[in-house]
């Protein structure tokens, strides 16, 4: 019992210490999307002004509500240097996610999280969005979805893309 209590306390007391914050360097990652393309942070940083990592669940109502906004922001800013990458945290089969992607008509790459991405980005709620600049630093973190959050995220994207 003492060992369990110790582990419990260490985990929950130190939990905020591991949370990523605005200004922190983004953890490096390498993921394969549903089409078999490999996306690595280092390579994405070389070719884009900003990267928007979108952690979502197919079963989350707020995530589904956010999809039209994400499709729009991806389309609007793609040619200006924004790369959007969706990371699905569900434990579904790949074919289920592919079907969801196709029905939702998502035009940005989507990868399945095998638990690693959500751990290194300390995801505790979806949707969670991380805007990363070309230097690899986290510029904005948005958790949850609302029209206000969407407006704030779009302003952050605009600001980021104007810098260069």
The CATH architecture one would assign to domain 19-162 is 3-Layer(aba) Sandwich (3.40)
Between CA 139 and CA 49 the distance in angstroms is 12
**pLDDT exceeds cutoff 70 at 96:** yes
pLDDT of residue 2: 55
Closest C-alpha among 123, 130, 157, 108 to residue 52: 130
pLDDT band at 123 (very low <50, low <70, confident <90, very high): very high
- Residues 37-55: tens digit of each pLDDT: 999 999 999 989 999 999 9
- Give the DSSP letter of residue 58: T
Whether pTM exceeds 0.85: yes
List Cα–Cα distances, 143 to 33, 98, 125, 128, 148, in angstroms: 22, 24, 7, 4, 12
List 111's β-bridge partners, or say none. 33, 87
Angle, helices 61-77 vs 147-162, to 10°: value is 30
**What is d(CA 89, CA 115) in angstroms, rounded to the nearest whole number?**
7
Residue recorded with tokens 């990267």: 51
Per-residue tokens: 118: 């959500």
- For the segment 90-100, the average pLDDT, to the nearest whole number, is 92
Cis check: omega of the bond before 127, within 30 degrees of 0:
yes
- 27: tokens are 């953890």
């Amino acid at each position: 019992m003492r060992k369990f209590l110790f582990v419990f306390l260490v985990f929950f007391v130190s939990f905020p210490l591991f949370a990523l914050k605005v200004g922190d360097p983004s953890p490096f990652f390498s993921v394969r999307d549903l089409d078999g393309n490999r996306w690595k942070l280092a390579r994405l940083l070389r070719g884009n002004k900003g990267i928007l990592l979108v952690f979502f669940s197919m079963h989350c109502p707020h995530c589904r509500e956010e999809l039209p906004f994400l499709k729009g922001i991806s389309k609007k800013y793609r040619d200006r240097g924004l790369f959007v990458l969706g990371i699905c945290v569900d434990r579904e089969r790949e074919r289920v996610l592919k079907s969801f992607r196709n029905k939702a008509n998502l035009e940005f790459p989507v990868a399945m999280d095998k638990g690693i991405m959500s751990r290194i980005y300390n995801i505790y709620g979806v949707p969670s969005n991380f805007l990363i600049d070309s230097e690899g630093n986290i510029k904005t973190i948005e958790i949850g979805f609302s029209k206000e959050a969407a407006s704030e995220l779009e302003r952050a994207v605009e600001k980021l893309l104007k810098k260069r």
